[in-house]
Amino acid sequence: MLQLRNENDAIPGEIVTKKLDNLEDVCKRIFRVVEDHPEKLPEIRKFMEYYMPTTLKLVHTYREFEDQKLEGDSITRTKKDIEDTLDMINVAFENLLNDLFKDAAVEASADISVLNALFAQEGLKEKEFEVIPRK
């Protein structure tokens, strides 16, 4: 995370900075979930071993190109490709974060169904009230 922050600080472009700010936030949230639920660590192995290092490499390349102050076709095209790829990476990492909560969502849904059935069985659910007109 520190590497991403350092690269972000070194890149002057506002558009890329916003994308990297979002990326940092999503990564922090992913790591926070795993910190709170270590059993989810296997679910982020590929994220840690491939996705993050490759993302950092792309961001580092972008920063190096920014530092060159040269705008050849190759550099310009590659920078644009990296900018577009950062959008894709943000979506993918947000999807990964969402997937980390999938089990909890399924479990909560099951708990809600069980409570609903038990309350209905015990006659504890909200009953329909008959509206009696005033005289």
To which residue do tokens 């009953």 refer?
127
Read off the DSSP letter of residue 116. H
CA 119 distance to own-chain centroid: 36
Cβ–Cβ under 8 Å, residues 62 and 82: yes
User: Domain for residue 101, yes or no?
Assistant: yes
85 falls within a domain = yes
What values do phi and psi take at 71, rounded to 5?
-125, 60
Q: Helix 14-36 to helix 52-68 angle, to the nearest 10 degrees?
A: 160
Q: Of 10, 47, 56, 54, which Cα lies nearest the Cα of 29?
A: 47
Q: Grade residue 112 by pLDDT with cuts at 50, 70 and 90.
A: confident
What does the pLDDT look like over 64-108, one tens digit per residue? 998 887 788 999 999 999 999 999 999 999 999 999 988 776 777
Residue 105 — φ and ψ, nearest 5°?
-65, -40
Task: State the Cα–Cα distance between residues 85 and 79, nearest whole angstrom.
Answer: 10
Residue 61, domain member (yes or no): yes
Domain that holds residue 31: 2-121
As a whole number, mean pLDDT of residues 111-126 equals 81
The better pLDDT of the pair 86, 133 is held by 86
Task: Report if residue 89 sits inside a domain.
Answer: yes
Domain presence at residue 130: no
Q: Is residue 109 part of a domain?
A: yes
The total of structural domains in the chain comes to: 1
pLDDT (tens digit per residue) in 10-57? 998 899 999 999 999 999 999 999 999 999 999 999 999 999 999 999
Predicted pLDDT of residue 27: 96
The answer as to whether 78 is a domain residue is yes
